[in-house]
Chain A
Amino acid sequence: MLRGLLSGVAGRWRQRRLLVPSTDKGEAKIAVSRVAHSYRDVEALKNVTLNIHHGEFVCLLGPSGCGKTTLLYALAGQVSPTFGNITIDGEPVKGPSPDRLLMFQEAALFPWLTVRQNLHFALRSKERSKRRREDLVRKYIRRVQLEGFEDALPHQLSAGMRMRVSLARALTMNPAVLLMDEPFAALDAQTRGQMHQLLQRVWLETRKTVVFVTHDVREALVLGDRVVVMAMRPGHILTDLEVRLPRPRDPDDEKLVLMSRQIREMLRRAGAAERPGPEEVEERDGQGEGPPVARSVPTRAPRPVGARF
């Protein structure tokens, strides 16, 4: 019994060490300072302050409607917040720019272009030399393991492959910051797992600064250096945790499962304290989970504002 108690304490202690409140590490690449945003009378974000450092993989985690997507769109410049400042590399964010590239829940490929043409089209505004463009395209097609599909049209590919094309397209643009809005939410569990492995590998190779929005606790823990947990009404940051697990991470890792339980518990408490209502954070317990249920409410993208064509 004593042993049980001891191991329980040790486990807790270890756990706490694996998931620590994140500390400020010097100069921020992305600085979000006291940002608030309202859609008419709905307060989507309130007093959000967040610093993201160069080369960090940050997951914004929270239930649907907690403002995480709004925050991401504000970083992308698709939404201009009603209050507060966002700077990237010291420059205030004004309108969308390929330097902080936004990836959506869908692959959003141009259906009339082949895989190769999709990559080239995006790159043309950035890279003038055709030779260099071709090299880049080849390199990233290899990186997302799509060799042999260069001349396929998007509708001939599976959803997972389309997402890989989208990822390759984003990477060829070599943005300073990559912003991802639940990019794998629409995929089946198996493909999603593969995408996690792929993204981890690509990230280890490129060390991009990534902000990744998700409502799936385990996805956040598998991918993120930091997990910023958000709660709703109005959207605010509940806690900002650092994940200290070696990569590549396995979603079924015991420690990771434990951590995810801890975070879910935290979210449940926050949810219960604020409102009676359905718990919307995806619950995925233990190993033996059933087929993925599309539990995510189809995310309503915030209305983009700013420059029109």
Chain B
Amino acid sequence: MAASLVRMIADGRLPAAIARSLGRLAQGYFLSVALGVPLGLLIAQLPRFRQVVRPLVMGLQALPSITWLPLAILWFGLSDAAIVFVVVMGSLLAIAIASEGAVQQMNPLLSMQARALGVEGFRYYSGVLLPGAFPGIVTGLKLGWSFAWRALMAGELLFVSGGLGQLLHVGRELLDLSQVMAVMLGIIAVGVAVDRLLFETLELRVRRRWGLLAPS
């Protein structure tokens, strides 16, 4: 397995697959964040909107994201867009739900103080609500990322078009057990790396700045 891992790294198959997968992931994930966070804030702030949208979001969240793939292929064809769509459906709702929860957990005094100070509209959303809920949102982003990563792997496995999932698929076709396991190792490595390096650091920094850590 180690030999297989080294060989795949050496001939560039594994790095290329990782790059391809991460590229798709980045597209889908950033789209999810860009849509999911505002969606969550709006659900938390507008009661009418919440009544309509929240049950919908909760219902769709119960659907495993990979079940969107057939629909995505019908809509977008056998393209990257289909996989990106699956990734978005995998993480968007989780991020929205977490963002909504983060707003609900915010100290209500801050919103009242903002109103008392005459901070309204966009300045309220961007300057009070978003940073106020940010520690909770970061947790949601982390969760969303792991959902996105899973959705991507499932998508790539089923719908062969490069990336780590395909490498795994090829390994299975060739009955090459060591390649399968080596690719799995790669998937774990990427997952852990992003989780540890990116999110742990971000979470720690935010919590420190917001004063949510016990002083050490």
Chain A interfacial positions (CB closer than 8 Å to B): 76, 78, 96-98, 101-102, 104, 106, 108, 110-112, 121-122, 124-126, 153-156, 169, 173, 301, 304, 307-309
List the A side residues contacting B111 at CB < 8 Å.
309
Residue of A nearest to B118 (CB): A98
In the complex the two chains form, is A154's CB within 8 Å of B211's CB? yes
Q: Is B117 an interface residue when CB atoms closer than 8 A count as contact?
A: yes
Taking a contact as CB atoms under 8 Å apart, the answer to whether B113 and A104 are in contact is yes
Please tell me if the beta carbons of B209 and A153 are within 8 angstroms of each other in the complex.
yes
- Tell me which residues across on chain B come within 8 A of A102, comparing CB atoms: 112, 116
B33 to chain A, nearest CB (A): 19
Interface segment, one of B15-23, B68-76, B119-127? B119-127
Let me know if B128 is at the binding interface, CB within 8 A.
Answer: yes
The CB with the most chain A CB atoms within 10 A, among B107, B112, B117, is that of B117
Bound CA–CA A125/B119 (angstroms): 7
Chain B residue with minimal CB distance to A100?
B116
Q: Choose one: A121, A153, A309; the contact of B125 (CB below 8 Å).
A: A309
Q: Which residues on the B side are within 8 Å of A101 (C-beta)?
A: 116-117
Once the chains bind, are B116 and A110 in contact (CB under 8 Å)?
Answer: no
* CB nearest to A166 among chain B residues: B113
Residue numbers in B under 8 Å from A125 (CB-CB)? 117-120, 123
Please report the C-alpha to C-alpha distance between residue A106 and residue B110 in the assembled complex, in whole angstroms. 10
Q: Which of B116, B119, B211 contacts A111 (CB 8 A)?
A: B211
Let me know if A112 and B134 touch, CB within 8 A: yes
For B124, list chain A residues within 8 Å (CB): 309
B contact residues around A96 at 8 Å (CB): 115-116, 118
Given B107, B116, B121, B127, which contacts A76 in the complex, CB threshold below 8 Å? B116
Least CB distance, B206 to chain A, in whole angstroms: 8
| Shortest Cβ gap from A182 to chain B (Å) | 13
With a CB–CB cut-off of 8 A, which chain B residues contact A111?
A: 210-211
User: Is B162 part of the contact surface with A, judged by Cβ < 8 Å?
Assistant: no
Digit string of B79-117 for contact with A (CB within 8 Å is 1, else 0)?
A: 000000000000000000000000000010111110111
Pick the residue among B112, B115, B118, B128 that contacts A110 (CB under 8 A): B128
* Contact A106–B109 (Cβ < 8 Å): yes
Residue with the highest number of chain A CB atoms closer than 10 Å, among B123, B129, B210: B210
Q: Does B131 contact A (CB under 8 A)?
A: yes
Name 8 extra pairs, CB < 8 A, besides A104-B113, A153-B209, A309-B120.
Answer: A106-B109, A111-B211, A124-B123, A125-B117, A125-B120, A173-B117, A309-B115, A309-B125
Listed residue (B118, B124, B132, B209) with the most chain A CB atoms within 10 angstroms of its CB: B118
Question: Shortest CB–CB separation between residue B123 and chain A, in angstroms?
Answer: 7
B61, CB-defined interface residue at 8 Å: no
B178 cross-chain contacts in A, Cβ below 8 A: none
Number of interface residues of B (CB under 8 A): 27
Of B112, B125, B134, B209, most A-chain CB atoms within 10 Å: B112
Cα–Cα distance between A309 and B107 once the two chains are bound (Å): 16
The answer to whether B45 has its CB under 8 Å from any CB of chain A is yes
A122 contacts across to B, CB distance below 8 A: 117, 119
| Chain B contacts for A307, CB-based, 8 A | 115
Tell me, in angstroms, the Cα distance from A110 to B133 when the chains sit together: 11
User: Which of chain B's residues have a CB closer than 8 A to the CB of A97?
Assistant: 118
Do B118 and A126 have beta carbons less than 8 Å apart? Answer: yes
Determine the distance from Cα of A122 to Cα of B117 in the docked complex, in whole angstroms. 6
Q: CB-CB < 8 A to B125: which residues of A?
A: 309
Please report the C-alpha to C-alpha distance between residue A307 and residue B109 in the assembled complex, in whole angstroms. Answer: 16
Q: How far is the CA of A308 from the CA of B132 in the complex (A)?
A: 17
What are 25 A-to-B residue pairs whose CB atoms are below 8 Å? A76-B116, A78-B112, A78-B115, A78-B116, A96-B115, A98-B117, A101-B117, A102-B116, A106-B109, A108-B107, A108-B109, A110-B110, A110-B131, A110-B132, A111-B211, A112-B210, A126-B118, A153-B209, A153-B211, A169-B117, A173-B117, A173-B118, A309-B115, A309-B120, A309-B121
From A96, A98, A126, A309, residue with most partner B Cβ within 10 Å: A309
- Shortest Cβ distance from B96 into chain A, in angstroms? 18
A97 to chain B: closest residue by CB: B118
What residues on B are CB-neighbors of A106 within 8 Å? 109
Would you give the shortest CB distance from A150 to chain B, in whole angstroms? Answer: 16
CB contact list, B181-216 vs A, under 8 A: 209-211
**Min CB–CB distance A49 → chain B (angstroms):** 25
Minimum distance in angstroms from B169 CB to a CB of chain A: 45
Chain A hits for B209, CB < 8 A = 112, 153
Q: Which residues of A contact B116 (CB under 8 A)?
A: 76, 78, 96, 98, 101-102
Q: In chain A, what residue has the closest Cβ to B211? A: A155
A106, A108, A301 — most chain B CB neighbours (10 Å): A108
Q: What is the CA–CA distance of A169 and B117 in the complex, to the nearest angstrom?
A: 9
0 or 1 for each of B117-153: is its CB under 8 Å from A? (1 = yes): 1111101110111011010000000000000000000
